[in-house]
Amino acid sequence: MSKDAHLRNISHTVPKNAKYTSPLIQNEVIQVMAEMVQEVIVSECKNSDIGLYYIKCDETRDAINIEDMSVILRDVINGVANERLLSLVEMEAVGDESITTAILQELQGHSLDPAGILSQCYDGASVMSGVKGGVQMLLQYAIGSRFHRSIVLAINCIWLSCMQWRLSQRLGTSLHYNSSCTSFSRDSLLQTSLKVRR
């Protein structure tokens, strides 16, 4: 409270019999703060430079053996890439269809249009990255059919494995510091993307 004058003033007006130490109150305060942070993340994502975003998702079991999935958004604001945790989703099942449904519900629950997904990043597990029935393919189909977008959107919704994602981040950082490489890379990436689309 020493750094926040507004909070310090509020603490003087709070009744002295209210300690706000019960787990119910503390959890409610944490939930309200989480929602405030999520609102900022979603607002920035919607107002990003190109209005599109990347998603990264991974699931893991927590200490009490419940499967949780992290949903991370990456966007570009004023030319700077931002990557932030949007939420942790408690999963009831870990099949490709249930994970795809959970991702779509989480994005739509935060008023994010899934059609704005530019790229997906998952681990190499077949349930996530399978080309015939993995989450990445089911999400592409869902976006293409639900929003009546052309098949081009599904093709442009790129899937990256985590290793490819890390490589692209390192490459982007390296290119940022060497302008001659940036020009070369941009030209070669453009040529490569044109070949892939043909």
Does residue 137 register a pLDDT over 90? no
Q: Which tokens in the block code for residue 32?
A: 């309200």
Can you name the residues that pair with 161 across neighbouring β-strands? 122
Does residue 149 register a pLDDT over 60? no
pLDDT digits (tens, 9 = 90+) for 97-131: 999 999 999 999 999 999 888 888 887 677 776 66
pTM: predicted TM-score of the whole model, two decimal places: 0.66
pLDDT digits (tens, 9 = 90+) for 11-69: 788 777 777 778 998 899 899 999 999 999 999 999 998 888 989 988 888 888 889 99
Per DSSP, the three-state class of 64 is coil
pLDDT digits (tens, 9 = 90+) for 151-173: 333 334 555 555 555 555 555 56
Quick check: 88 and 68 in contact, CB under 8 A?
yes
Does residue 148 register a pLDDT over 50? no
The dihedral of CA 13, 18, 19, 21: what is its sign?
negative
Q: At what angle do helices 135-146 and 96-109 cross, to 10 degrees?
A: 50
Element (H, E) at 162: helix 162-176
